[in-house]
Amino acid sequence: MTVTTRFAPSPTGRLHVGNIRTALHNWLLARKEGGRFLLRIDDTDAERSEERFVDAIRADLDWLGLTPDGEVRQSERFALYEARFEELRSRGRIYPCYETAQELELKRKIQLGRGLPPVYDRAALKLTDAERAKLEAEGVRPHWRFKLAHDAPIGWDDLVQGHKAFDPRTMSDPVVRRADGSWLYMLPSAVDDIDLGVSHVVRGEDHVSNTALQLQMFEAMGAEPPHFAHSALLTGAEGKLSKRLGSLGVDHFREEGIEPEAVRALLARLGTSDPVEPFVEPEPLVAGFDFARFGRAPARFDEAELKGVNARIVHQLPFERVRDRLPAGMGEAEWLAVRPNLHTVAEAAEWWRVIEGPVDASVPEEDRGYLAEAAQAAGAIDWADDPWHALTGRLKERTGRKGRALFLPLRLALTGRAEGPDMAALLPLIGRERAVERLRA
């Protein structure tokens, strides 16, 4: 079996952390199995779909490194849906309904009032041909429902949720097409999954009951259903479903200096029994991807955790991956020297200013003499090899200082800061001339 997965966003907004995670799961599974990862643009809703969101979805996936192996758009596939619809209709699996939204709402209220589940009562199936003709003559356009088979329970072995079972008698026949002819999500999705040979439908837990309905659609269309994996939902750091998650997307991550590698590393492992590890390359995430490791409890997304993973990613990024984003003139040696101190790549610019100078250092009065001595020593040592150890070794010998008293005034004078990258890496980059000057000042 060739594994084919699909990520199926509706272009009604930007991607957010929840659907980025779904895209990632689909991508990881396809990569792991040597299969295909498709992007399906669910744009059957012409009013709410926007072209700018289609472009943004592509750009976001690209930034995340989740490039699809193919793309289809539902708006270009209406003829296929129409053909399947006609087939199902001719076999009585799709039927016309004439109730208005208000009538349906009233029926629901009555059922709820009687303590009954608000399941559609199939009144439309009881209409006679004459009644239907009358309604049509009055200009009432039908909407269409898929008729669920009531003869057997619906069940499947979900790759994340385990065995799931639904009683179709407790479910309303889903509306698949509106009176204006437009399509609802449910049927086109199943038609596409069949037509595109989708082997695994990987999506959020919020689709579990849709799956029950769609399983009957696969069956009605004579198709072997795909495997299903419904990952547990994502909650905010407080453990609650949070509105904020819906607004956290690629733009926000970029503004915060988050690398795509960090988003991938965190989201691939969130909610699984594997630890989150700062993998720069996707291979270990791909190799370890396994639905059996997924938990059923909601997974917590914590921005602070993302920032932590990001820092650990930045500490490993090779120069080639960041060179375009570094200040002009900053080279590999400078990058490698400052990298361990960064939370974001953008912070490299601050250390570049420290290397280039001028630095704004205020050193305590009592260290002035010591620094004058240091300036002299800096002029005298051999800079070719390891100037920091040469300098501090010499000063230790001459002044008897050690530890903090030896190092801190030097760091302050040379960088203007009490903390920062390893001075042994930084000092050669500052260089003899600037070092002597800063120690003198």
Nearest approach in angstroms of CB 12 to ligand GLU is: 9
Residue number with CB closer to ligand GLU (10 or 111): 10
47 vs 129, which CB is nearer to ligand GLU? 47
Separation between Cα atoms, residue 378 and residue 261, nearest integer Å: 41
DSSP secondary-structure letter at 294? B
Query: Using CB atoms, what's the residue nearest to ligand GLU?
Result: 42
Closer Cβ to ligand GLU, 37 or 351, answer by number: 37
Nearer to ligand GLU, 15 or 342 (CB): 15
Instruction: Tell me phi and psi for residue 89, to 5 degrees.
Output: -65, -45
Pick from 5, 9, 225, 249: which binds ligand GLU (CB under 6 A)? 9
CA distance 373 to 13: 63
CB of 6 to ligand GLU, least distance (A): 7
Nearest to 196 by CA among 24, 80, 26, 43: 80
Cα dihedral 367, 372, 375, 376 sign:
negative
Integer angstrom CA distances of residue 31 from 5, 34, 35, 230, 273 = 10, 5, 6, 19, 20
Two structure tokens written together for 98: 């004439």
Nearest Cα to 352, choosing from 376, 322, 307, 375? 322
**Shortest distance (Å) from residue 194 CB to ligand GLU:** 13
Rule CB under 6 A: say whether 207 interacts with ligand GLU: yes
Give, in order, the Cα–Cα distances in Å from 321 to each of 338, 350, 353, 425.
15, 19, 21, 21
DSSP state for residue 328 in the 8-state scheme = T
Is the CB of 29 or the CB of 345 nearer to ligand GLU? 29
Task: Give the residue, chosen from 23, 28, 42, 236, that forms a contact with ligand GLU under the rule CB under 6 A.
Answer: 42
Orientation of helix 403-415 relative to helix 423-440, angle to 10°: 70
Nearer to ligand GLU, 246 or 357 (CB): 246
- Quote the least distance from Cβ 57 to ligand GLU, whole Å: 11
Tell me the two tokens of residue 164.
Answer: 């799931």
Give whole-number Cα distances, 334 to 30, 108, 323, in Å. Answer: 39, 68, 11
Q: CB-wise, 9 or 96, nearer to ligand GLU?
A: 9
Rounded Cα distance, 196 and 199, in Å = 9
| Shortest distance in whole angstroms from residue 215 CB to ligand GLU | 13
Least distance (Å) between residue 233 CB and ligand GLU: 13
- Site of tokens 């072995």: 157
Phi-psi region of 431 (alpha: psi -120 to 50; beta: other; left: phi over 0): left
* Region from 2-10, 114-122, 165-173, 343-351 binding ligand GLU, contact rule CB under 6 A: 2-10
Assess 8 for contact with ligand GLU (CB under 6 A): yes
Query: Using CB under 6 A, which residues numbered 257 to 316 contact ligand GLU?
Result: none
243 appears as a binding residue in the annotation: yes
How near is the Cβ of 139 to ligand GLU at its closest, in Å? Answer: 32
Can you tell me which residue has the tokens 């800063």?
A: 438
Distance between CA atoms of 422 and 388, rounded to whole angstroms?
10
Which of the ranges 3-11, 28-36, 52-60, 172-180 carries the binding residues for ligand GLU, by CB under 6 A?
3-11
CA distance 382 to 391: 9
Q: What is the pattern of x (binds ligand GLU, CB under 6 A) and - over residues 72-91?
A: --------------------
The stretch near ligand GLU (CB under 6 A) out of 4-12, 113-121, 356-364, 431-439 is: 4-12
> How far apart, in whole angstroms, are the C-alpha atoms of residue 226 and residue 158?
11
Task: Name residue, tokens 């966003």.
Answer: 9
Cα-based torsion angle of the residue sequence 66, 68, 69, 70 in order, rounded to the nearest 10 degrees: 180
Q: Which is nearer to ligand GLU, 189 or 231 (CB)?
A: 189
Nearest to 141 by CA among 170, 105, 177, 167: 177
The nearer residue to ligand GLU, 11 or 278, going by C-beta atoms, is 11
Q: How far is the CB of 338 from ligand GLU (least distance, A)?
A: 42
Find the binder of ligand GLU among 16, 203, 230, 269 (CB under 6 A).
Answer: 203
Nearer CB in complex with ligand GLU: 45/99: 45
Q: Smallest distance, Å, CB 387 to ligand GLU?
A: 58
Min dist CB 421 to ligand GLU, Å, is 45
Is residue 411 at the binding interface for ligand GLU, with CB under 6 A as the rule?
no
The residues in 157-196 that bind ligand GLU, with binding defined as CB under 6 A, are 185, 189
Binding site for ligand GLU (CB under 6 A): 8-10, 42, 185, 189, 203, 207
Show binding-site residues: 243
Show binding-site residues for ATP: 243
